[in-house]
């Protein structure tokens, strides 16, 4: 995606607005035309009229009439996801039950139970945000139950989220951050898992536009500048391929494809390279018009012809023909060396495969009719149902869901040759639990491809695994570090809880005797007082800690007062809360504490805060405040590795923050410098930092190896402006290949 999405500014008259609504509605009907059966047009019209009436007094933040949003969502469902009439009706009415006087009963009377059920699912999703974390995770579980019941709910929700992201410009900054984080945390991976690659890519790009605006704009600018050159290169690359493929009798369409801004940025970060060095900015798609029984043969034939013309990179072949992804994606990917020494990614697929790649689940249903085997989508839904039927701790659920169900898959084999689907990162222990929970609980090791490995061994696609068990084995606490699947985590936690309960019985008996000795009853209220006093999360934890002697009840009489039948904790002396300014090592020695940097929150008051260690923000960074329990306000950068998780899971604790410049305080940050190990290069670097720019260096480490050096410099800067100036000047020094901000924790 080379361009930003521009939001139209609405300043239309009432008549013009009505015309715009009718124009958009007619465009929706035109898209829907091939799918309309007898009586459908009237149903869509009824849904449109009900939605228009229900939303008639409502406007969006941009000022436009609200009804334009449901129409836009319906158009995305039809035009970009390939859904039909029922989904269009649901999309038009998706916000009515939550936001207007229309009820589910009204909808059922007009459209029947199927549409009502989908709208009920969409209403549940609407309540996921802006609640406490436990409630949010509970609601997310409800969404997934609806997903396995009727996946259209998620597809419509993704269309809703995509339109909201396209029109996010008119929202407040903190809303933009929260919605973008949630999008990148849950909705983009969900779109990917549903096979909607185009939508997943656009969601990631739009989220990046708000979370990392500077980098987004810089990459977008460079893409625009190089567009003509790239187009010419791709056209010259495509021409001989198309001619050669057509000569062999293949019906083919060859297209150039721009890489997304988000994927380019990911490559730059992962490989530690500049934009100019991202080697596969160039990508083409070869789409074959093949008969169903010749699809694989034709794809491999095209691969053979292309790799005869251009040298392929052997480690870059991806074969999703033999083993399609769990979301139905089938294709051959390879990367070949084109003219001028440029790598080009080539994707080979048929028209059917292309439609499934573009439209995901909706296209998958179309081709599924008549298929005998259970599809990988169905297997995925079955796995989700299985996990949801277990008693999963809500707060862990969202994270587990991401690692278990939104990750890419690997395919592994049982000793008999049956295929098992597991997320990337799964271990031998995950596999054991996927076979059966009893096998997992007794697992002591495994043989992978006939070689003995420990239970923590990470599996790779194509591995064949045999599990070794022992009746003496039982789950341990550290097993939780070896598994990624929700099923394995849940079963291990259940087993540990049961073990804890057995040990805890002794602790419960000890506490009971102690309380009776003090003359108070063993009531729930008294046990809770003791539990809170010893900072335990549950009575079971309390009994367990007493049993294993981590809590000594000897002094219980001294700690509590007895009133009748009740235990009372004496009121503690009032202690003034400690005021935390930025970490002392971040402020230059000899500075007065009064010169503390001020961050304004909503109330524009001077407030207590600390700077997050995970991303070390400095003035000028795009930041948000996170209200943590016990530590007050913690300031994180919006591109912090933990930002998406915090803003998605704890949105209600995120507050808008901005810096007030204070040139008297310096902040500790760092830069990593890569270059050629030349005589005097270190002197040039230190001379620039300390001599010319007058920046204090806190520490400098240099490692030279085989003619190259890597230097890490910790230094005190006043703000981001000063840091950016330093990075620009360092890059201009002869022999310096790369300079980047040092984001790792600065110890």
Helix axes 376-388, 486-517, angle to 10 degrees: 0
DSSP tally for the chain: helices H, then strands E: 28, 23
Residue 63, judged by CB atoms within 10 A of its CB (0-12, 13-18, 19+), counts as: exposed
Residue from 2, 17, 79, 98 carrying the catalytic annotation: 98
319 to 244, 316, 347: CA distances (angstroms):
22, 10, 10
What is the CB neighbour count within 10 angstroms for residue 15? 8
Residue 93 C-alpha from the chain's centroid: 28
The span from the first CA to the last CA of the chain, in angstroms, equals 39
| Residue whose C-alpha is closest to residue 119's, from 153, 151, 145 | 153
Instruction: Let me know if 720 is exposed, middle or buried by CB neighbors in 10 A (0-12, 13-18, 19+).
Output: buried
The residues, any chain, with a CB within 8 Å of residue 116's CB and separated by 6 or more, are 104, 107, 108
Strand 282-288 versus strand 736-741 pairing type: unpaired
DSSP 202-265: HHHHHHHHHHSHHHHHHHHHHHHHHHHHHHHHHHHHHHHHHHHHHHTT--EEEEE-PPPHHHHH
CA-atom Rg of the chain in angstroms: 30
Phi, psi of 224 (to 5 degrees): -65, -45
Angle of helix 376-388 versus helix 394-405 axis, rounded to 10 = 160
Query: What are the distances in angstroms from CA 145 to CA 71, 421, 485, 510, 602?
Result: 26, 21, 18, 43, 38
Tell me the three state secondary structure of residue 617: coil
Task: Mark whether 98 is an active-site residue.
Answer: yes
Cα separation, 81 vs 155, in Å, equals 8
Contact predicate 86/115, CB 8 Å: yes
Buried b / exposed e along 494-525 (16+ C-beta atoms within 10 A): ebbeeebeeebeebbebbeebbeeeebeeeee
With both helix axes pointing from N to C terminus, report the angle between 486-517 and 539-547 in degrees, rounded to the nearest 10. Answer: 70
Helix (H), strand (E) at residue 267: helix 261-271
The one catalytic residue in 17, 20, 40, 99 is 99
How many whole angstroms separate alpha carbon 219 and alpha carbon 583?
Answer: 34
Nearest-angstrom CA–CA distance, 747 and 744: 9
**Under 8 Å between Cβ of 141 and 397:** yes
Contacts of 534 (CB under 8 A, 6+ apart): 542, 545, 551
Residue 313: C-alpha distances to residues 260, 263, 343, 460 (Å): 22, 20, 9, 21
Catalytic sites, residue numbers: 98-99
């Amino acid at each position: 995606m080379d361009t930003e999405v521009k939001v139209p500014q609405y300043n239309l008259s009432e008549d013009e607005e009505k015309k715009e609504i009718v124009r958009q509605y007619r465009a929706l009907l035109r898209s829907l035309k091939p799918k309309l059966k007898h009586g459908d047009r009237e149903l869509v019209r009824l849904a449109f009229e009900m939605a228009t009436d229900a939303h008639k007094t409502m406007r969006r933040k941009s000022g436009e009439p609200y009804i334009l949003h449901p129409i836009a969502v319906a158009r995305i469902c039809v035009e970009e996801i390939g859904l039909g009439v029922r989904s269009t009706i649901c999309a038009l009415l998706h916000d009515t039950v939550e936001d207007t006087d229309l009820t589910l009963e009204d909808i059922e009377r007009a459209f029947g139970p199927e549409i009502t059920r989908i709208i009920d699912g969409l209403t549940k999703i609407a309540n996921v945000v802006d609640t406490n974390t436990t409630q949010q995770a509970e609601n997310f579980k409800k969404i997934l139950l609806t997903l396995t019941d009727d996946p259209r709910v998620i597809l419509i929700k993704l269309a809703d989220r995509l339109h909201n992201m396209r029109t996010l410009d008119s929202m407040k900054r903190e809303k933009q951050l929260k919605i973008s984080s949630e999008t990148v945390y849950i909705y983009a991976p969900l779109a990917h898992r549903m096979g909607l690659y185009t939508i997943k890519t656009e969601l990631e790009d739009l989220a990046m536009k708000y979370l990392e605006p500077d980098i987004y704009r810089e990459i977008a600018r460079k893409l625009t500048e190089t567009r003509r050159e790239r187009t010419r290169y791709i056209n010259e690359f495509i021409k001989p391929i198309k001619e050669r493929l057509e000569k062999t009798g293949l019906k083919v369409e060859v297209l150039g494809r721009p890489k997304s801004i988000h994927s380019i940025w990911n490559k730059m970060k992962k490989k530690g390279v500049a934009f100019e060095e991202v080697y596969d900015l160039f990508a083409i798609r070869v789409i074959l018009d093949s008969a169903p029984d010749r699809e694989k043969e034709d794809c491999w034939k095209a691969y053979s012809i292309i790799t005869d013309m251009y040298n392929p990179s052997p480690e870059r072949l991806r074969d999703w023909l033999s083993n399609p992804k769990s979301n139905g994606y089938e294709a051959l990917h390879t990367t070949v060396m084109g003219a001028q020494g440029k790598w080009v990614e080539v994707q080979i697929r048929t028209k059917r495969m292309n439609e499934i790649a573009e439209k995901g689940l909706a296209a998958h249903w179309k081709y599924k009719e008549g298929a005998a085997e259970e599809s990988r989508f169905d297997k995925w839904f079955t796995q989700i149902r299985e996990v949801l039927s277990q008693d999963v701790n809500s707060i862990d659920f969202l994270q587990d869901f991401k690692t278990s169900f939104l990750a890419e898959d690997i395919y592994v084999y049982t000793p008999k040759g049956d295929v098992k689907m597991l997320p990337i990162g799964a271990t031998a222990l995950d596999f054991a639990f996927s076979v059966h929970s009893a096998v997992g609980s007794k697992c002591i090791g495994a043989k992978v491809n006939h070689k003995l490995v420990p239970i923590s061994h990470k599996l790779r696609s194509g591995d064949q695994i045999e599990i070794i068990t022992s009746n003496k084995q039982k789950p341990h606490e550290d097993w939780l570090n070896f598994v990624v699947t929700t099923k394995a985590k849940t079963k291990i936690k259940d087993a540990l809880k049961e073990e804890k309960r057995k040990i805890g019985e002794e602790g419960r008996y000890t506490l009971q005797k102690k309380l009776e000795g003090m003359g108070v009853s063993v009531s729930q209220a008294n046990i809770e007082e003791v539990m809170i006093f010893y900072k335990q999360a549950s009575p079971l934890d309390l009994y367990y800690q007493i049993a294993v002697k981590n809590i000594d009840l000897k002094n219980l009489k001294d700690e509590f007062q007895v009133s009748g039948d009740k235990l009372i904790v004496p009121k503690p002396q009032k202690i003034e809360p400690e005021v935390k300014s930025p970490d002392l090592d971040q402020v230059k020695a000899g500075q007065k504490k009064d010169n503390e940097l001020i961050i304004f929150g909503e109330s524009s008051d001077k407030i207590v805060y600390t700077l997050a260690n995970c991303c070390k923000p400095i003035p000028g960074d795009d930041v948000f405040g996170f209200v943590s329990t016990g530590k007050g306000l913690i300031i994180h950068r919006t591109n912090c590795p933990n930002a998406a998780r915090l803003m998605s899971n704890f949105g209600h604790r995120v507050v808008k923050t901005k810096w007030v410049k204070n040139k008297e305080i310096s902040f500790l940050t760092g830069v990593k410098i890569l270059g050629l190990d030349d005589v005097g290069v270190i002197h040039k670097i230190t001379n620039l930092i300390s001599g010319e720019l007058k920046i204090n260096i806190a520490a400098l480490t240099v490692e030279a190896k085989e003619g190259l050096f890597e230097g890490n410099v910790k230094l005190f800067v006043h703000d981001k402006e000063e840091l950016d100036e330093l990075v620009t000047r360092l890059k201009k020094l002869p022999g310096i290949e790369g300079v980047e901000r040092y984001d790792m924790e600065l110890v």
